[in-house]
A and B are shown apart, each in its own frame.
Chain A
Amino acid sequence: MNWIDTILQGVLLGGLYALFAAGLSLVFGIMRLVNLAHGDLIILAAYLILVIVSALGLNPFLAALVAMPVMFALGWLLQRVVLNRVLGNDILPPLLVTFGLSIVIQNALLQGFSADSQRIGAGALETASVDFGPVTLGVMPMLTFASAILVIVGLNQLFYRTAMGRAFRATSDDPVTASLMGIKPASVFAQATGIAMIVVTIAALYLGMRANFDPTIGPARLIYAFEAVIIGGLGSLWGTLAGGVIIGVAQTLGAAVNPEWQILAGHVAFLLVLLVRPRGLFPRAYD
């Protein structure tokens, strides 16, 4: 067994998990909302891309570009119509509403697409790989990882270099005072969820091209995403990438020992990090 190879595969897998997690982290960072339907929204986006690919005959990457505004609108509406109503000090309403949403999305997808597993065909890209001496890395995993880095760089630019990002951070700090600056918190939240859904679409693209998916696998993606966010420390996107990588490496190492231990190893790594660093690896100074 080639340990370097196993670890590198895990690092690249971590890129996918970071993509799952970035949207969750964004929404939590701005409105302290944990969306239990996040995983199901990723699967929904994957089906949307699949439908666009087969209906318009587009390349998956172009199809994802088409899906992005649709998902943005969906996220915006979801926040505006449903989730804004349940934000507040009581964490129960948003949790229960998003949990209900998760069940609705899963079953709507089962109804529409059956339980058969699907895949977004990416042609030669699926099997392409590059030799780096002792290790061979797939083009798709590398592309996923690069996209994760791009997404994080992009989100950080948005957060720290634009007026919109400034408004996001101000609203996250104190929505009432933000409203005195002419910011409408309800719109900021809707924009943030819309942007999170764009990230979700990118995550869905890679999820669907790399492996089979079916309507029921959303909750497991939510859990990986959540673990990456917690390991990284709430509010730190680079931390989220590190968290994704830790879960990814733990999973590939676990699978190398015994294929049945893949998922378990990821969870155990999460619990171990939580034991040693309860606030994650890169926690925010204040909260």
Chain B
Amino acid sequence: MALLQTRGLTARYGDSQALFGVDIALGQGETIAIIGANGAGKTTLLRTIAGVLRSDPGMVMFDGAEIGARPADEIMKLGIAMVPEGRKLFPSLSVEENLLIGAHGRKAAGPWNLDAVLDLFPVLKEKRAVPGTALSGGQQQMVAIGRALMSNPRVLLCDEISLGLAPVVIRDIYAAFPRIRAGGASVIVVEQDIGQAMKVASRVYCMMEGRVTLEGLPGDLSREAIHAAYFGAVA
């Protein structure tokens, strides 16, 4: 059985609907990628799973239990951590405090703690005392990922972690993923960078206009199929 599964997920921003019955599944130990153009609903999907938005109707099943109605802070305590789009470091907290607060609501046993995260991203070691927002974009992204890892999550949700970063920085960040997986987290990455998504994920969902339009293994998906799922059937 899947560790995390959504059934008929539906979300609205005010009057406009952003998700139309989305079904995805994440297996234990798996890394899946969700790709799609701007406005396809990828971020909305992650925010709904994390409990920031409410799905109505629709279900989120985690470890066999329905969690869709719970608020974000409770979902985090169950072991679903999120790296939000735009990194969202706390400006009044130092780098170290930004990391420590990641474990505020959940103190679970596991491989991740302050030392382990600083070991994963050694460049942060000498920046521990500076405000999080004083770092470069790539370093901020490392803090955001480390912050989510601090709670030893069972599921890690990564929203657009390559957005706005230089290719070499993106490569450094994704280089951490094997260790993150080895630490026991199952991962959902939302990416616009299809190449990166194909490399890191074992399965890929493509979304368009609030719906899943394509699902498959990275190797099986043809360029044409992805193109169609990305931009619509008109080629």
Residues of chain A having any CB pair with chain B under 8 Å: 163, 166-167, 169-170, 172-174, 176-184, 286
Contacts and interface: CB of A to CB of B under 8 A. Distances in A.
Interface stretch (B69-77, B109-117, B193-201): B69-77
Given A166-B97, A170-B90, A183 B52 contact: no
Interface centre among B71, B72, B88, B97, by most A CB within 10 Å? B72
B90 A177 contact: yes
Interface stretch (B6-14, B98-106, B121-129, B216-224): B98-106
Contacts of A173: 90-93
Contact of A179 (B76, B90, B100): B76
B77 A169 contact: no
A180 B72 contact: yes
A253 B90 CA distance: 43
Contacts of B76: 179-182
B105 A181 contact: yes
Interface centre among A173, A177, A178, by most B CB within 10 Å? A177
B91 A286 contact: yes
Contacts, number: 66
A177 B76 CA distance: 11
A167 B84 contact: no
Interface centre among A177, A178, A181, A184, by most B CB within 10 Å? A181
Interface string B129-154: 00000000000000000010001000
Given A166-B100, A177-B88, A182 B93 contact: no
Contacts of A181: 73, 76, 101-102, 104-105, 147
Interface in B35-53: 50-52
A167 B81 contact: no
**SS class, residues of chain A in contact with chain B:** helix
29 contacts: A166-B93, A166-B97, A167-B101, A167-B104, A169-B90, A169-B93, A170-B90, A170-B93, A172-B92, A173-B92, A174-B88, A177-B88, A177-B90, A179-B71, A179-B72, A180-B72, A180-B81, A181-B101, A181-B102, A181-B104, A181-B105, A181-B147, A182-B76, A182-B104, A182-B105, A182-B151, A183-B101, A183-B104, A286-B91
Given A169-B93, A180-B52, 5 more contacts: A163-B100, A166-B97, A170-B90, A181-B73, A182-B77
A237 B113 CA distance: 32
A170 B100 CA distance: 11
A183 B73 contact: yes
Contacts of B102: 181
A175 to B, nearest CB: 10
Nearest to B88: A177
A133 B52 CA distance: 64
A182 B51 CA distance: 11
Nearest to B92: A169
A184 B90 contact: no
A182 B97 contact: no
A25 to B, nearest CB: 15
A181 B52 CA distance: 12
